[in-house]
Amino acid sequence: MSTKPVFVATHPRACSTAFERVFMTRRDELSTIHEPFGDAFYYGPERMGSRFENDVEARIKSGFADSTFKTILNRIDREAAEGKRVFIKDITYYLVPPEQQDARLAPSLRKVKRGVGTEEELNAHGGLGLNLQRTITPRDSGVVVGEANDKNGMATPPPFPYDTVAEPSNPTVVPREILERFHFTFLIRHPNRAIPSYYRCCIPPLVERTGFHPFMPSEAGYSELKKLFDYCKDTGLVGPKICGQGGTANGGTSASGQDSGIEICVIDADDLLDDPEGILRKYCESIGLDFRPEMLNWDNEADHEFAKAEFEKWNGFHDDAIYSKDLKPRQHKAEPKSDEEMYAEWLEKYGKDAANMIKKCVADNVSTYEYLKQYAIKV
């Protein structure tokens, strides 16, 4: 059974923060880390996202202007070495270059070497088993990756694409030797629910808190999630067994011809909302964690304060999860609506231009969602 740090890879607005709150109740065994790689993606000297590219002040005010992919992994490594199993939930496109650009290894990671020892020895020792320098600097690994801004406070040229090499078939900026240290699982939601929800975060009144204006279809996140999912499935990081289905992928073999020991584990948010206990029992069994019914209730001061502190950096995105008390089955399952009905709702709420933008973004991502959905846990 895998004891690797769990990495829940998802896209925006997939009910992932509510899912995360379930595992925050297990602080006796788990160290939860909330969306750490966004710091490097949006704000740091290795940033790939263009949202704050021309806003030096916003990057500095974020407090993450010096965050690199390596400093984030340093934090994960430290927390893993403290003895608790790490549980990370993050947005996949923070690791996969946007706009269908080819991946190149993050400069701060290209000299990282895996520690010496067997899998069992590395897990027993704690941490990720990587030789990571304990430095917090844009020059990690001796590689100059560029400052967030120059000495006059002016923006420097976008750092991506990096002047580094790519790994064959690896769609991320993280070397495979690091990806191998994680237990990947996946969380999805139908785009006709996720996309309008994300759009709402990019307009008044929420945008006054999120700072995410305008809405960017490139941040939908489905394409990047599929790239990582296929890479994990096709190269033996997960599979071939499929959690909650009893079947296998890739003809029952991985790229190495062996069972990875990690099931292909995909959760659909609507399935989770309809049957939280059923889905979570399957999920916990898959990742090697005992399920406890009390994980579905967090209505106490300690849990609320912990969650509020964890979610603070993404202000405005997580209000529903912050003020929630539990995860109960929906009283009524969401009734499917026609495309025309959905469009009429968006038209009424947001106007014609926005409704057309949402409609196109949904249409662009439905087939990817449906592809991933075929692997989702069934109860």
H/E segment holding residue 269:
helix 269-274
Q: What tokens appear for 367 in the block? A: 């087939």
Domain ranges of the chain: 6-332+366-373
- pLDDT digits 0-9 by tens, 128-137: 666 554 443 4
| C-beta of residue 366 within 8 angstroms of C-beta of residue 224 | no
Is a pLDDT exceeding 70 seen at residue 160? yes
Question: What does DSSP assign to residue 92?
Answer: G
107 closest CA partner among 155, 45, 61, 176? 45
The angle at the Cα of 44, spanning 368 to 197, to the nearest 5 degrees, equals 35
* 339-350 helix and 352-373 helix, angle to the nearest 10 degrees: 140
Residue type, 122: L
Is a pLDDT exceeding 80 seen at residue 103? yes
What pLDDT, on the 0 to 100 scale, is given for residue 136?
38
Using CA atoms, how far apart are residues 184 and 345, in angstroms rounded to an integer? 35
What pLDDT, on the 0 to 100 scale, is given for residue 260?
87
Q: For tokens 């964890």, name the residue.
A: 310
- pLDDT digits 0-9 by tens, 225-280: 999 999 999 999 999 999 999 888 876 655 556 788 999 999 999 999 999 999 99
